[in-house]
Structure 1
Amino acid sequence: MTLDPPSAAADAAGVVPATVLCFLGALLTAATLYPTYRAPDEIAHVDQVHAVRASWSWPGLGERRLSRQVVDSFPLVRYREDPPLATEAAVERSERPTFDAIASDEPSTLGNQMSQHPPLYYVLAAGWLALLDVA
């Protein structure tokens, strides 16, 4: 009796889910360990999600400026300060201001380059914020 070698599809059936799970684990670990606004481009991503939620539209390349809400939140998390905000120095969740309480939603002078990305992630994240009624 001869056995046929396993097919490439059978090999991929186990490798693909394992790879996806490892990638999701890495994403969750990074999301948990990075301090606020320290992940690559996080400031611009946060701003873009809030902008999409506010207008449900997509800016042209180079049109979007970071919101004053995002820029004025920098001191709360000691953005660009060394050392970054330590866990014990964080404002209690119940006392953290919303973006609406921090500043009005008007553009700053800082550009937001996220309009170069496909909008699906931002639309989904904005929908999630709207569903949770998060400001």
Structure 2
Amino acid sequence: MCLGLGYNATSFPNIWLAIPDQEGAAEVLQDYQVSGLGAARGAALAPPCQAHSAVPAVLQTLMELACYQHLRLLICSLLVPKCTPDGGVLQPCRAVCLAAELRCQQSLGLLGILWPINCNILPDSKDPVECFQP
């Protein structure tokens, strides 16, 4: 689901989930193929100590709604972020997350589902060195 996004290197462990390595990421991403785009297992958005059972369904539903043009890029960049030349990771800018939330919140609300991503922890910047925008 996260192939073809313009990068092919990521970093582990993942800050959103205790994904320790490439095999762990493959396991997390393998189960979801929705509408040709796929959906990520939502456990990546829950703290590692919480139960993850309901979260995958939230992200699968979100991906099926196709409510935001760059939703797949947003979710994949949280699960398998792009590496920077200095060995760090490039997260999405907060504005990307907030735009997705704005466009998808009403559809999710009709289903009784809250937006599953805390956008406030993402960088509040437009500087391409700190974060990316599609």
TM range (shorter): under 0.3
TM-score (norm. length: structure 1): 0.26
Larger helix fraction of residues: 1
Give 1 or 2 for the bigger CA radius of gyration: 1
